[in-house]
């Protein structure tokens, strides 16, 4: 039910020829119906993509990746937000990542999807993060994991504020199970972009 830019293939193909990147990250627009999305894709004035690629959202559909990077990487079965898991792994293994600052993908906000239903259900992402942590060893690799934790933390905070008192008790337990394994100094050690996102 989503839409791609009419020049999606050509623009990505040109970028591949130009930069021979392992991963190309591109922008997207949101909308609730086909006409709204098509109009946004066609008339997008300015891309919001800039800065540290590691801090971009983890949607699989906002990137194109060389096939060989998937050789030893699989989406985890039975986990919510498997994009978070896979995108973090791919970002950590890609040697050359380029940004195509143009909206190429139209994301339809649909009633009944994971992101529009129960805020509590979205805390299932914590199980995915805990699975992801097992994949990263050593400071260089852990940096990607902690960047992802920061991205997800912003979203979790917003959803936490949407919870009623009863659901907050359930979420509290999940949150403790994740953050008790993390030293904040490790997150702040990553880079200044992470610090800026935490502060904002």
pLDDT tens per residue, range 31-84: 888 888 888 888 877 777 776 776 678 899 999 999 999 988 889 999 989 999
Tell me the pLDDT tens digit for each residue of 114-132: 555 578 888 999 999 989 9
| Nearest Cα residue to 49 out of 35, 29, 66, 19 | 29
pTM of the predicted model over 0.85: no
Buried b (16+ CB within 10 A) or exposed e, 23-37: bbbbbbbebeeeeeb
Percent of the chain with pLDDT over 70: 83
Are 94 and 22 in contact by the 8 Å Cβ rule? The answer is yes
Q: What pLDDT was estimated at residue 55?
A: 67
Q: What is the pLDDT of residues 181-192, one digit of tens each?
A: 776 666 655 554
Residues 150 and 140: their CA atoms lie apart, in Å, by: 16
């Amino acid at each position: 039910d989503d839409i791609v830019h009419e020049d999606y293939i050509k623009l990505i193909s040109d970028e591949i020829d130009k930069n021979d990147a392992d991963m190309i990250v591109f922008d997207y627009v949101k909308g609730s119906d086909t006409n709204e999305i098509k109009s946004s894709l066609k008339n997008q004035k300015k891309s919001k993509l800039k800065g540290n690629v590691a801090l971009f959202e983890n949607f699989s559909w906002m990137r194109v990746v060389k096939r060989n990077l998937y050789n030893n990487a699989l989406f985890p079965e039975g986990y919510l937000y498997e994009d978070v898991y896979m995108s973090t792994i791919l970002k950590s293994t890609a040697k050359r990542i380029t940004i195509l600052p143009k909206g190429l993908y139209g994301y339809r906000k649909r009633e009944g999807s994971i992101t529009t239903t129960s805020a509590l259900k979205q805390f299932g992402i914590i199980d995915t993060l805990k699975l992801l942590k097992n994949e990263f060893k050593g400071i260089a690799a852990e940096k990607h994991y902690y960047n992802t934790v920061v991205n997800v933390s912003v979203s979790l905070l917003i959803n936490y504020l949407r919870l009623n008192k009863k659901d907050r008790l359930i979420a509290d337990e999940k949150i403790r199970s994740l953050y008790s394994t993390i030293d904040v100094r490790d997150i702040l050690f990553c880079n200044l972009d992470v610090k800026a996102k935490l502060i904002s």
